Amino acid sequence: MSEPPAQVPVREGAQNGKAPERTVFEVKSNKVLPCRIDVEFPVYNRKHTLFEISVYTSIFIRNFKQTYLVATKKTLYSREFVAPEGAIIKVTYRSGSSKHTYYSYYGYFLVRETGAKNHEFTIKGYDKNNTIEGEIKNLVPLSLEGYDEAEIEAEIMNVYGALPSKYDPVEVLYYLWIKKRVADTSTFEEQVKKLEELIKQKEQELQALREQLAQLKQLERVRE
């Protein structure tokens, strides 16, 4: 369940002369973990091979000529790296020729202290897919089952009045952090408390609306 707009924190002040930012989600953990992706991806041509890791730590609203949902990220090219707990990692791999991609892999992981574990990487080949055994450390594979890009994009536009950035997979990040709450480590009791507080807030807002409606009806009767 996503947080209501009223509870989204706002970063005070302008950023680099631009309008103030509105944070949608931000990793707040001070715990940084050593991470590793250990796998031998197939190589077609080393000159046309890319291995890239994007470490995402927040999504927020930024006003340019239009309002966009954008992401904070750090791009790495090493298979061993450090990242804050709760961050989402996107792994991108491609190998091929100057005209075609023969092998590719894209995957999302959550940074969490789990130690080293075996993991199967499904490589998309030019004519068929292959599964390769590898190892990951302090990374949890994330599934996009149930993800509907059009639905998420519509929610972002309706709730925040923003267009998704085309430079980063902000719709996926929104789905994982906000809808699936993959970084939520709170206990069951804490989640219940949050929901109770939200219900109380909504009841207060509803009561305020009822009072406004009663005042309007009273004014209408006076005019009559």
Q: Residue 78 is part of which domain span?
A: 5-183
- Is 208 in the same domain as 119? no
- Is 153 in the same domain as 223? no
Of 73, 80, 71, 84, the residue nearest 51 (C-alpha): 80
- Is 216 in the same domain as 142? no
- Is 206 in the same domain as 158? no
Confidence at residue 142, expressed as pLDDT on a 0 to 100 scale? 96
Confidence at residue 38, expressed as pLDDT on a 0 to 100 scale? 95
Non-local CB neighbours of 7 within 8 Å, separated by 6+ positions: 198
- Is 88 in the same domain as 38? yes
Q: What is the pLDDT of residues 40-58, one digit of tens each?
A: 999 999 999 999 999 999 9
Confidence at residue 65, expressed as pLDDT on a 0 to 100 scale? 87
- Are 33 and 111 a contacting pair, CB within 8 Å? yes
Enumerate residue ranges in the chain where pLDDT < 70: 1-20, 185-192, 224
Non-local CB neighbours of 187 within 8 Å, separated by 6+ positions: none
The domain tally of the chain equals 2
Confidence at residue 64, expressed as pLDDT on a 0 to 100 scale? 86
Confidence at residue 188, expressed as pLDDT on a 0 to 100 scale? 52
pTM to 2 decimal places: 0.74
